[in-house]
Structures are given as C-alpha cells and as structure tokens.
Structure 1
Amino acid sequence: MEAFAEYLMQMKVPQHRARMAEVLEWVGRTFPGLEPRVAWNQPMFTDHGTFIIGFSASAGHLAVSPERAGMERFSREIARAGYAQSKMLFRIPWERDVDYTLLRRMIAFNRAEKAHCKTFWRGKA
C-alpha cells in the first residue's frame, strides 16, 4: 500500500509497524474499491470522497475509527471482542488478535450507509 508507506516508516516499533501494515493491507485486499489515503496524520480509507474507516497508532494499541455511527452500531460486538472503546473509536492492544470479521462488518456497514453521502463526515452539510 504505497499510500501508507511514509506513515508506516515513521512508526518506531517494528512489531507495531508490521501489525498496522497487516491491517491496512487486509482492508485494501478485502475492499479493493476503497481509496487509501493519509489525512490528519492517520491512515484511512474513503469511498467516493466520504470517510469509511480510519486507523491510528499509540504506544499501547491500534485505534480504529469507524465514525460515531459505526461505533454505536457495533458497540456490543466491540465489547464482546474485548476491546476498549470511546464514542469515536475502539482500541486493539498490540498483543491482541484483530477481529477481522468485526472489521469487515463495520466497513461494509459504513459503505452501505454512506453510499449516497456527498460529504466527508456524516451529518455535514
């Protein structure tokens, strides 16, 4: 994923870089129609110019942001997966497995719900 090469090279911990690359490549392979980009210093994927999902890295976890509507829709599943969450994102500790089934469902939900969205974020005129 050439769009993320510079972002990944800035990650100092090799295991974190490898995990982030794995997740980003999985999204790209699973949803080839999504557009990869870095904005606000975060790797993200968009569809027809609208935000679908974003990722960020911290010392303790990989954060996943499916926008607030995605968090609300999948809050119970996120909790069942054992991930901590806030209103806008959930955190996957670096040492934990990624629940790719949950990630696939979130991305598919956002794509379907935002199929006709003409703005980057939901609810923005």
Structure 2
Amino acid sequence: MGSLAEWYQSIPTPDDLTRVESLFANIQAQFPQLKLEFKWNQPMFTDHGTFIMGFNPSKKHLAVAIEPQTMTHFIPQIDKAGYDHSQIIRFPWHKPLDEQLIHDLIAYTIDQKKDATTFWQR
C-alpha cells in the first residue's frame, strides 16, 4: 500500500469509509495547521514535522495511534468512553465515534509538542 487512495480502499465498508473521510475533514477544519501525511503505510497528522496521530483500519475497528505520554494522560477518559486500548485506541466500527475525545487527544498532543524538534516525543 503506497498511497492514501489505496489505504482508503482497505477500509471495510462504504459507511466506514464515509466516517473516516468525515473524521479527517473535521480534524483538518478544527486544526488547519496539521498536515495529513502518508507514512509507514498509514495516514497520520503531523504538526511542524512532529507526529500527532495515526490511523489504521481493521475489520472490526479503526485503530488510532498516539504518543505514549498522551495515552497515559487520557487513559481515564478512554476507559470511561468504553474503548479498548493498548498502545493504540480501538474505535469499533459499530459504535459512534467520539470525535470530542479525538479532538481532546489532538489538542493535548499539539500543546505537549509545541516546542518539539523530533518526529516522536522523547
């Protein structure tokens, strides 16, 4: 898979694709400074060359990757929302997507990495 268009084709159903396209459009509207890039076979949002959030679909969920420090900070909210997580957060296709949680994750990461000079948080 070498492009965003090919990645979109890997999304299980047309309804799921619509949800992802809507999510990406909302992220870009709320955070216009973020750049949607395609690296390591997945789309991700970056800010001034530093990682903010990445995405990977599976049959049952949309996996969302965030920095470990962000994950640690948000575990109570993620648990309260009922999402399964490890190093990623799993947003099941059959449940409504908590876009406020995603917004909060992004806003927090942007703030934490405002002075970052590396791709990954140290």
What TM-score comes out, normalization by structure 1 length? 0.89
Q: Secondary structure at the match of 2:43?
A: strand
Q: State the partner residue of 2:63.
A: 63
Q: In 2, are the aligned partners of 1:67 and 1:89 still within 8 Å (CA)?
A: no
Q: Does 1:93 align with 2:88?
A: no
| Large movers: runs of 4+ above 4 Å | none
Instruction: State the TM-score, normalizing by the size of structure 2.
Output: 0.91
**Partner of residue 102, structure 1:** 101
Residue 62 of structure 2 contacts residue 93 of structure 2 at CA under 8 Å; is this kept in 1?
yes
The aligned residue for residue 122 of structure 1 is 121
> What is the distance in 2 between the residues matched to 1:27 and 1:93?
19
Q: CA separation in 2, counterparts of 1:107 and 1:24?
A: 12
Residues 55 and 64 of structure 1 are in contact (CA less than 8 Å); yes or no, is this contact kept in structure 2? yes
Query: What is aligned with 2:112?
Result: 113
Counterpart amino acid of 1:121?
Answer: W
C-alpha distance in structure 2 between counterparts of 1:26 and 1:7, whole Å = 19
Q: Distance in 1 between matches of 2:109 and 2:91?
A: 20
Distance 2:4 2:64 in 1: 16
Q: List gaps (5 residues or longer) in structure 1.
A: none
Correspondence 1:1-80 to 2 at 5 A: 4-80=4-80
CA RMSD of aligned residues (A): 1.5
Tell me by how many angstroms 1:12 deviates. 4.6
Q: Aligned residues, how many?
A: 120
Runs (5+) with no aligned partner, structure 2 = none
CA distance in 2, matches of 1:59, 1:79: 22
State the distance in 2 between where 1:96 and 1:11 align: 16
Q: Which amino acid aligns with 2:119?
A: F
